[in-house]
Amino acid sequence: MTVELSSAGFRTTTERLRLHDWLLGPGQATEVIDTFPAANGDFHFIVDDRADTHIASADGRFYLGHFPNGRPGAEREGWVLAVTGTARTPGYRVVFDPDTPAHLVARTVSEVLATAKRL
């Protein structure tokens, strides 16, 4: 029996080891806020005295909080997205670090909003 040694183990090229330019930095919170439909009455926006932004759906089941300096009493929470569950299905909560790029948070929020259906 012969074994082909050239295909065994870890192989790569110098080109594949080069660094990538990744999306970094918090960006602008307006990228996230702009994902909400304008003036349709489905969402309430509040900016509090700490300049934290809170967005909730009119039915109270969706919440998004933006805490530019971190959420008080929490460790490294810059964005909190929560959807309340039902009697049969649990809800969920997604937390983003304050340094998470707003573009990524906006994409996540857009996906959640796109899946919502009126009952």
The DSSP code sequence of 48-102 is -TTS-EEEEETTS-EEEEE-TT--TTSSS-SEEEEE---SSS--EEEEE-TTS-H
Query: Residue 40 pLDDT > 80, yes or no?
Result: no
The band of 1, judged by pLDDT with boundaries at 50, 70 and 90, is low
Tell me what pLDDT residue 35 has.
Answer: 92
Q: What is the pTM of this model?
A: 0.80
Contact 95, 80 (CB under 8 A): yes
Query: Token match 């994902």: residue?
Result: 35
With H, G, I as helix, E, B as strand and everything else as coil, classify residue 50: coil
Averaged confidence pLDDT in the chain: 88
* Residue 83 CB neighbour total at 10 angstroms: 17
The band of 15, judged by pLDDT with boundaries at 50, 70 and 90, is confident
Token pair, residue 7, equals 């295909």
Token pair, residue 114, equals 């796109």
The tens digit of pLDDT for each residue in 67-104 reads 999 999 999 999 999 999 999 999 999 999 999 999 99
Tell me what pLDDT residue 94 has.
Answer: 97
Query: Residue 13 pLDDT > 60, yes or no?
Result: yes
Residue 47 amino acid letter = V
